[in-house]
């Protein structure tokens, strides 16, 4: 019979909390993080990897997909909040001792790229209570194949805010680049845009930073490539369809 010790000896358990990435993954991650210092990749722990495994699995039913996607999004947003400025703040603890701490010093808002980005709104609201959230809808123009702005509803004072730009998938980056362009035209500072993303393809990252080198991007994973239909591979599939159950 298999015992935990025998399974451990057979290499079936991973005891290190850092997941061992494959050589191919490792070289992509190293290349991207070396070339694009504004890309923050979440620490690849076994816990993160286990959640990614569930949402990548094509057999995962919708309820489970949403549950684990929500957990992952929450962690991702907590990570993205690290990109905001903090200021020194001293408080007094119940022991009447001073504590040198920090506090948020910026006005933020979320902007979701409709539809898949809307899956990330509740995660942002859960950690930033009362956070203003705007929306941008972009579609591909049938004639030119270029991303086209269809609709936007954004806070009127957005130019004074830091923006958490929400889109779970970054494949060709056409939509996110168009969304960044809309934000810049409204006066948002490039370095105040934090693109919060679950999964990116290297091509998408290249495009974002070629056009907008000062934005920041926080991602949970970076995959190998795109297929001929511009899906990320190995990927998650159509995130919006799986999250909202519209298969």
Comparing CB distances to ligand URA, the nearer of 68 and 239 is 239
Which CA distances in Å does 172 have to 177, 206, 231, 234, 240? 9, 9, 9, 15, 16
Find the shortest distance in angstroms from Cβ 197 to ligand URA. 11
Among 19, 67, 104, 231, binds ligand URA (CB under 6 A): 231
What's the half-sphere exposure (Cβ side, CA atoms, 13 Å) at 4?
2
Find the shortest distance in angstroms from Cβ 208 to ligand URA. 14
Task: Tell me phi and psi for residue 18, to 5 degrees.
Answer: -90, 120
**Which residues 6+ apart lie within 8 Å of 45 measured at CB?**
17, 18, 19
Comparing CB distances to ligand URA, the nearer of 163 and 171 is 171
| Stretch touching ligand URA by CB under 6 A, among 80-88, 92-100, 208-216, 227-235 | 227-235
By CB under 6 A, the residues from 97 to 136 that bind ligand URA are 116
User: Of 18, 33, 241, 246, which residue is the catalytic one?
Assistant: 241
**Which residues 6+ apart lie within 8 Å of 27 measured at CB?**
none
Is 49 a known active-site residue? no
| Cα separation, 131 vs 228, whole angstroms | 38
Is 140 a known active-site residue? yes
Which CA distances in Å does 206 have to 31, 72, 93, 149, 174? 11, 24, 47, 22, 12
- Confirm or reject binding of residue 235 to ligand URA (CB under 6 A): yes
Decide if 232 contacts 199 (C-beta within 8 A).
yes
By CB under 6 A, the residues from 159 to 198 that bind ligand URA are 169, 171
Residues that are catalytic: 140, 144, 238, 241
Contact set with ligand URA (CB under 6 A): 116, 169, 171, 231-232, 235, 238-240
């Amino acid at each position: 019979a298999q015992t935990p010790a025998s399974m451990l000896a057979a290499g079936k358990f991973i005891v290190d909390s850092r997941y061992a990435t494959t050589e191919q993954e490792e070289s992509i991650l190293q290349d991207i993080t070396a070339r694009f210092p504004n890309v923050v990749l979440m620490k690849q722990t076994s816990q993160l990897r286990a959640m990614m495994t569930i949402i990548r699995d094509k057999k995962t039913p919708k309820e489970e997909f949403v549950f684990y996607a929500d957990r992952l999004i929450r962690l991702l947003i907590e990570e993205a909040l690290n990109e905001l400025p903090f200021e020194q703040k001293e408080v007094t603890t119940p022991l009447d001792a001073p504590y040198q701490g920090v506090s948020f010093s910026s006005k933020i808002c979320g902007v979701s790229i409709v539809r898949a980005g809307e899956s990330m709104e509740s995660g942002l609201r859960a950690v930033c209570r009362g956070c203003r959230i705007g929306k941008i809808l972009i579609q591909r123009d049938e004639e030119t194949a270029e991303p086209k702005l269809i609709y936007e509803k954004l806070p009127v004072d957005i130019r004074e805010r830091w923006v958490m730009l929400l889109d779970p998938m970054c494949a060709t980056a056409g939509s996110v680049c168009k969304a960044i362009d809309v934000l810049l035209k409204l006066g948002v500072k490039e370095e105040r845009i934090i693109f919060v993303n679950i999964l990116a393809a290297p091509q998408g990252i290249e495009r974002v930073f070629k056009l907008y080198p000062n934005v920041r991007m926080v991602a949970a994973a970076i995959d190998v490539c795109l297929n001929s239909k511009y899906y990320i591979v190995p990927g998650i599939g159509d995130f919006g369809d799986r999250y909202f159950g519209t298969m």
